């Protein structure tokens, strides 16, 4: 029996649950966003060619959509799971047991979840942009795949991309850290867990929207 570092195991689990399991919804939402933008562009800006629309879409994604949409999916998928998991651990006395074993909750429970969620959301950010760029290949009407990709990537500003990665990691950390406060708020009753989890999801979505809103208004 070989057991790895428990913090690393916990980190890997969080990365899997937040990252891998959210990949399909993020892919579908990336494709849907591309379709919607191309339709809007075709209706209101018919003079723009596919390459320009693809660049606009990629710019919009790296600056806003790739943070908001994976972030909201992350809230729905992972914040509810983290909150209910921590709530049940609290009710079952598992948190107390860990304390008694001399295992700090901050190191074993919270830190790996924060780190795993941050890495997962950064990967989802990149993945969303990749999904949008891949959609442009089909939607922009160009005969060359390479030209389509180049046109789309022209819209991705390196500075915006870096800031997007930093924001994704930062927002994920804040959201998970806030949801881990469940440990203090959780009352000792199973029915309370579902209510706490749904409240935490709503709170996380509001927090994400407010943080991104402040960023867009203050720094753009």
Partner 1 sequence: MLFVNIMSLQNLSSVNDKLAERLYIECEAATVQAVFDKLCRCLVIRGVPFSFLSPVEGNLISNISVAENICLPLIWHSRGELEEVENRIKEFLTVISSIHKVEEERILEILQARPYELGLYEYDLALMLRVFIRKPKVIVIDPEWFMAINSSIWHSCELLSILFGQLVWIVPINKPSKLPGFELGCWHHFSDPEDLMQLRGEWV
Q: Minimum distance between the CB of residue 134 and partner 1, rounded to whole angstroms?
A: 35
Give 104 or 213: the residue with its C-beta nearer to partner 1. Answer: 104
| Two tokens, residue 76 | 């729905």
User: Under 8 Å CB-to-CB from 161, ≥6 apart: which residues?
Assistant: 62, 129
Give 17 or 128: the residue with its C-beta nearer to partner 1. Answer: 17
| Two tokens, residue 217 | 């208004």
Closest to 104 in 3D by CA, of 218, 6, 3: 6
| Two tokens, residue 189 | 């009753």
Q: Minimum distance between the CB of residue 103 and partner 1, rounded to whole angstroms?
A: 5
The residue ranges of DSSP E strands in 79-210, in sequence order, are none
Give 102 or 191: the residue with its C-beta nearer to partner 1. Answer: 102
Q: Minimum distance between the CB of residue 100 and partner 1, rounded to whole angstroms?
A: 4
Q: Minimum distance between the CB of residue 10 and partner 1, rounded to whole angstroms?
A: 8
Q: Which long-range contacts (CB under 8 A, 24 or more apart) does 91-100 make?
A: 91/186, 91/188, 91/189, 91/190, 91/193, 95/183
List contacts with partner 1 (CB under 8 A).
Answer: 1-3, 5-6, 9, 85, 88-89, 92-94, 96-103, 108
Give 98 or 209: the residue with its C-beta nearer to partner 1. Answer: 98
């Amino acid at each position: 029996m070989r057991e790895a570092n428990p913090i690393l195991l916990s980190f890997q689990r969080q990365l899997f649950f937040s990252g891998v399991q959210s990949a399909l919804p993020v892919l579908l939402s990336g494709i849907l966003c591309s379709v919607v933008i191309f339709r809007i562009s075709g209706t209101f800006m018919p003079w723009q060619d596919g390459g320009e629309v693809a660049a606009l879409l990629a710019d919009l994604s790296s600056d806003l959509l790739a943070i908001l949409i994976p972030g909201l999916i992350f809230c729905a998928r992972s914040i509810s799971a983290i909150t209910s998991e921590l709530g049940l651990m609290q009710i079952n006395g598992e948190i107390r047991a860990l304390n008694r074993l001399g295992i700090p909750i901050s190191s074993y429970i919270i830190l790996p979840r924060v780190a795993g969620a941050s890495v997962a959301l950064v990967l989802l950010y990149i993945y969303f942009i990749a999904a949008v760029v891949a959609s442009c290949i089909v939607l922009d009407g160009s005969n060359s795949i390479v030209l389509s990709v180049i046109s789309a990537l022209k819209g991705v500003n390196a500075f915006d991309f870096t800031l997007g990665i930093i924001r994704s990691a930062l927002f994920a950390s804040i959201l998970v850290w806030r949801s881990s406060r469940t440990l203090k708020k959780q009352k000792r009753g199973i029915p309370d867990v579902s209510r706490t989890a749904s409240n935490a999801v709503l709170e996380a979505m509001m927090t994400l929207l407010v943080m991104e809103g402040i960023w867009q208004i203050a720094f753009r």
